[in-house]
Structure 1
Amino acid sequence: MIHAKQALLAEGWADNVRLTIDAGTILRIETDAAARTGDARVDTLLPSLGNLHSHAFQRAMAGMTEFRQAGRDSFWTWRDLMYRFMDRMTPEQIEAIAAQVYVEMLEAGFASVGEFHYVHHQPGGRPYDNPAELSERIFAAAAQTGIGLTHLPVLYTYGGAGQADLTAGQRRFGNDADSFARLTEHAASALRDLPPDARIGIAPHSLRAISPEDLARVVAAQGQGPIHIHIAEQPQEVRDIEAWLGARPVAWLLDNQPVDDRWCLIHATHMTDAETDALAASGAVAGLCPITEANLGDGPFNGPGYAAAGGRFGIGSDSNINISLTEELRTLEYSQRLRDTRRNVMIPAQGAVGAFLYTAAARGGAQALNRDAGVIETGRLADLVAIDSQTPALCALSGDGILDCLAFAAKDGVVTDVWAAGRHAVLNGRHPKREEIFAAYRKAVAQLIRD
């Protein structure tokens, strides 16, 4: 049972809210209710956000690429450094890094994560005896931390547009459609050991890393599960795909695949207005990762047009250079303001910008992760976050003003409690296994740097 002084329910704000949770879902909601003995008592209760896009292993290299090389740094020079770093990781190190990432996500207020998992093989590219060895390391990290997991094994077959050969740094990723089917079968079987809210989908990496034929094959085999894909992140990618396939990436995908509410298009940074409107109309989610997109120099998303067209979106921490729910939200809006030289941009009409960003990202993230969450409502998963509205950043506000201030003035330290499908994963601002997980992470990073 949870008792909140105030809560944002599906129908709006309410006072003295008492939630009954059973088997991970919200069984009953009472308003104007008194707290009872044994209730978890919190200040302000919100639907939590799902972190819809993570490459957990990249957390270990945060800050290591912020040195300017001779010439012009870009996403592509960053990628080469990432490949070299990744190629040294052991399964044990990947598990330790993922567990640290998931603790940080939970403490920031995310109850769930979409792990876009593309490291499958041994250094050099030789498969493990168990093709899902590294997926199972992600599962172990999720089990240890209690985060809600949507696992997204990645199909990565080619080194670039036009079916180029894999480079040395990409060999740990490589699968053809047949080996990818075996991988996902093993991963789906192992996933059954996690709580029942765990999900599995697929992630064709990008149009440049697969063939149109293989994309059609794996999508047809997927059924109703989530499908995530990187798309239109960089101008060079857009040019390469257009030269190869005869259309820009988003336009080609929408014209050649049954893009609907199962899909999450990660980044979708470089779209025309027509592509923006078409993506919004498809019902898919735009997976926005504002901190990483800023760090890599990707450019800003077409937020005003997408919001005006009713487009769905969620947020993710991608490279995990800085895991922060509040900073992802404000970076999304600030990127729009910097481009357009005006304020209060990422909202379709008049209203509270922070409240729109938060609630839209909660709904969009839940959709992308195939979790029946995103709002506080009976029958939904109990993916919940509690914040302290009496902190200096929030104490002068009420109602949607709390969400505005959360998005633009607060830090993640206002988070007091997080539940993931009813699992009380953060208590009083801390994950109960924080110290032991950090010790393992620090050991893993020290080994990587030393080796």
Structure 2
Amino acid sequence: MIFAKRALVKENWLENVRITVENGRISEIKNGQTLRPDDTRVDTLLPALANLHSHSFQRAMAGMTEYHMIGKDSFWTWRNLMYKFTAHLTPEHVEAIAAFVFLEMLEAGYASVGEFHYLHHQPGGAPYDDLGEMSARIAAAAATTGIGLTHLPVLYTYGGAGEVALEFGQLRFGNNVDQFNKLVTRAQLAVSDLPADCHVGVGLHSMRATSPADLASVLDGRSKGPVHIHVSEQPKEVADIQAWLGARPVEWLLENADVSSDWCLIHATHMTEGETTSMAKSGAVAGLCPVTEANLGDGPFNGATYLNAGGAFGIGSDSNVLISLVEELRTLEYSQRLRDIARNVMVVGEGSVGQTLYVGAARGGARALERGAGEIAVGSLADLVAIDSTVPALCSLRSDQLLDGLVFAAKDGVVTDVWSAGRHAVQSGRHVSRDQIISNYRAAMFSVTESI
């Protein structure tokens, strides 16, 4: 039993709430209760968000790509550095890094992750003896940490728009469709050992890294699960796809694929007004990664138009240069303010910006990962986060102001407890296996840096 001083149940604040969790799901919610000796007591209980887009291995690069050299730095120069870094990662490194990343996510208040995984092979591109070796390592990291995993093996066949051959640095990522389908099957086997809330979807790296025929083949052959794809992240990408296929990436996808509520379009940064509205109406979730998008100089999402058209969105930490749930939400809103020279942009009509961002990201992220969570309701997965509203940043706020305070004034340290499908992974602000996971990560990083 969880007893909360207050809880956001759907969109209503209730006081003195007791929540019963059975088999990973919420079976009963009662308010106006009194604390019992065997209750787990928390201050304020919220639905925990899904981190819908992560490349966990990139966390190990944080701080290594911020040195300006002669010429103009861009996403594309960062990408070349990333290729060089990945050449030194072993399966053991990847598992240790992923476990640390998942720990950080849980301590920041995320209960689940969409791991968009494209580091499949050995340096030089030869498959491991077990084609799914790297996917199995991601699954092992999820088992260690207790995070809810939606694993997204990624099809990455070409080095650029127009079926350009892979560069040397991309060979670890590459699969043709037949090999990719075998990889997905192997990933499903690895994830089958995890709790029942964990599952496998399909990742398509981008329009530039696949082809219309390959995309159609993968979609026709998939049995279930979400579909995620990077799209329209950079102006060059948009121009290259338009020159090749005669349409902008989002425009082409909406016209040529059955994009619907089981799709998540990552970034979708550079869209026309028409594309923005059409994407919103498709039911797809916009996978927004504001901290990474700022770090890589991608540009801001067209948030106001998208929300006004009824679009769903969630947030992800992408490159994991910084893992902070509140920082992602506030950076999303601040990017809109800086672009529009306005305040309180990410809300339709009147209302709380913090609540619009938090509740919207909770529901959209759950949909993107097909997770059956996103709100505190009977039957939902028990993906829950408790925060301490007595901290100075929040102590003077009413319940209806609390999410504004969380998003714009607080730090992740306000998180006290996190449950992922009922697994109580974070207690008193710390992951239950924190010390060992961090020790393993440090050892892995010393090994990586020695090899560079």
The one-letter code of the counterpart of 1:113 is V
- In the alignment, the residues of structure 1 paired with residue 181 and residue 223 of structure 2 have an alpha-carbon distance, to the nearest angstrom, of 13
Cα offset, 1:398, TM superposition: 1.9
Report what 1:112 is aligned to. 112
Instruction: Answer whether contact 1:224 1:262 (CA < 8 A) is retained.
Output: no
Cα offset, 1:38, TM superposition: 1.2
Q: CA RMSD in A?
A: 0.6
- In the alignment, the residues of structure 2 paired with residue 423 and residue 113 of structure 1 have an alpha-carbon distance, to the nearest angstrom, of 15
Report what 1:290 is aligned to. 290
Instruction: Answer whether contact 1:310 1:348 (CA < 8 A) is retained.
Output: no
The one-letter code of the counterpart of 1:290 is P
- In the alignment, the residues of structure 1 paired with residue 38 and residue 331 of structure 2 have an alpha-carbon distance, to the nearest angstrom, of 39
The one-letter code of the counterpart of 1:196 is A
Cα offset, 1:225, TM superposition: 1.1
The one-letter code of the counterpart of 2:70 is A
TM-score by length of 2: 0.99
- In the alignment, the residues of structure 1 paired with residue 305 and residue 10 of structure 2 have an alpha-carbon distance, to the nearest angstrom, of 26
Q: How does 1:377-416 map to 2 (within 5 A)?
A: 377-416=377-416
Report what 2:336 is aligned to. 336
Report what 1:56 is aligned to. 56
Q: Provide Cα deviations, 1:294-332, integer angstroms capped at 9, x if missing partner.
A: 000000000010011110000000000000000000000
Report what 2:173 is aligned to. 173
Report what 2:314 is aligned to. 314
Q: How does 1:30-45 map to 2 (within 5 A)?
A: 30-45=30-45
Q: Provide Cα deviations, 1:326-382, integer angstroms capped at 9, x if missing partner.
A: 000000000000000010001111100001000000000000011000000000000
Cα offset, 1:66, TM superposition: 0.1
Cα offset, 1:87, TM superposition: 1.1
Identity %: 65
The answer to whether residue 205 in structure 2 is matched with residue 205 in structure 1 is: yes
Instruction: Answer whether contact 2:192 2:199 (CA < 8 A) is retained.
Output: no
Q: Structure 2: which 5+ runs fail to align?
A: none
Q: Secondary structure at 2:431's aligned position in 1?
A: coil
The one-letter code of the counterpart of 1:347 is V
The answer to whether residue 143 in structure 2 is matched with residue 143 in structure 1 is: yes
- In the alignment, the residues of structure 1 paired with residue 193 and residue 314 of structure 2 have an alpha-carbon distance, to the nearest angstrom, of 28
Report what 1:126 is aligned to. 126
- In the alignment, the residues of structure 1 paired with residue 223 and residue 132 of structure 2 have an alpha-carbon distance, to the nearest angstrom, of 21
- In the alignment, the residues of structure 2 paired with residue 223 and residue 125 of structure 1 have an alpha-carbon distance, to the nearest angstrom, of 27
Instruction: Answer whether contact 2:5 2:15 (CA < 8 A) is retained.
Output: yes
- In the alignment, the residues of structure 1 paired with residue 344 and residue 430 of structure 2 have an alpha-carbon distance, to the nearest angstrom, of 33
- In the alignment, the residues of structure 2 paired with residue 301 and residue 119 of structure 1 have an alpha-carbon distance, to the nearest angstrom, of 27
Q: Secondary structure at 2:214's aligned position in 1?
A: helix
Report what 2:103 is aligned to. 103
Q: Provide Cα deviations, 1:411-433, integer angstroms capped at 9, x if missing partner.
A: 00000000000000000000011
- In the alignment, the residues of structure 2 paired with residue 52 and residue 222 of structure 1 have an alpha-carbon distance, to the nearest angstrom, of 20
Cα offset, 1:400, TM superposition: 2.7
Q: Secondary structure at 2:430's aligned position in 1?
A: coil
Cα offset, 1:37, TM superposition: 1.9
Instruction: Answer whether contact 1:363 1:374 (CA < 8 A) is retained.
Output: yes
Q: Secondary structure at 2:27's aligned position in 1?
A: strand
Report what 1:66 is aligned to. 66
- In the alignment, the residues of structure 1 paired with residue 223 and residue 432 of structure 2 have an alpha-carbon distance, to the nearest angstrom, of 37
Q: How does 1:182-197 map to 2 (within 5 A)?
A: 182-197=182-197
- In the alignment, the residues of structure 2 paired with residue 199 and residue 401 of structure 1 have an alpha-carbon distance, to the nearest angstrom, of 36
Report what 1:84 is aligned to. 84
- In the alignment, the residues of structure 1 paired with residue 50 and residue 227 of structure 2 have an alpha-carbon distance, to the nearest angstrom, of 16
Q: Secondary structure at 2:88's aligned position in 1?
A: coil
Report what 1:420 is aligned to. 420
The one-letter code of the counterpart of 2:98 is A
- In the alignment, the residues of structure 2 paired with residue 89 and residue 410 of structure 1 have an alpha-carbon distance, to the nearest angstrom, of 35
Cα offset, 1:111, TM superposition: 0.3
Instruction: Answer whether contact 2:151 2:200 (CA < 8 A) is retained.
Output: yes
The one-letter code of the counterpart of 1:295 is N
- In the alignment, the residues of structure 2 paired with residue 69 and residue 11 of structure 1 have an alpha-carbon distance, to the nearest angstrom, of 49
Matched residue count: 451
Instruction: Answer whether contact 1:286 1:314 (CA < 8 A) is retained.
Output: yes
Q: Provide Cα deviations, 1:245-266, integer angstroms capped at 9, x if missing partner.
A: 0000000000000000000000
TM-score by length of 1: 0.99
The one-letter code of the counterpart of 1:158 is Y
- Select between 395-404 and 239-248 the one with higher mean Cα deviation: 395-404
Q: How does 1:268-279 map to 2 (within 5 A)?
A: 268-279=268-279
Q: Secondary structure at 2:301's aligned position in 1?
A: coil
The one-letter code of the counterpart of 2:189 is S
- In the alignment, the residues of structure 1 paired with residue 221 and residue 46 of structure 2 have an alpha-carbon distance, to the nearest angstrom, of 36
Q: Provide Cα deviations, 1:375-417, integer angstroms capped at 9, x if missing partner.
A: 0000000000000000000011122310001000000000000
- In the alignment, the residues of structure 2 paired with residue 222 and residue 5 of structure 1 have an alpha-carbon distance, to the nearest angstrom, of 45
Instruction: Answer whether contact 1:199 1:370 (CA < 8 A) is retained.
Output: no
Report what 1:218 is aligned to. 218
The one-letter code of the counterpart of 2:355 is A
Cα offset, 1:11, TM superposition: 4.7
Q: Provide Cα deviations, 1:33-55, integer angstroms capped at 9, x if missing partner.
A: 11212111000000000000000
Q: Provide Cα deviations, 1:43-79, integer angstroms capped at 9, x if missing partner.
A: 0000000000000000000010000111000000000
Instruction: Answer whether contact 2:206 2:230 (CA < 8 A) is retained.
Output: yes
Q: Structure 1: which 5+ runs fail to align?
A: none
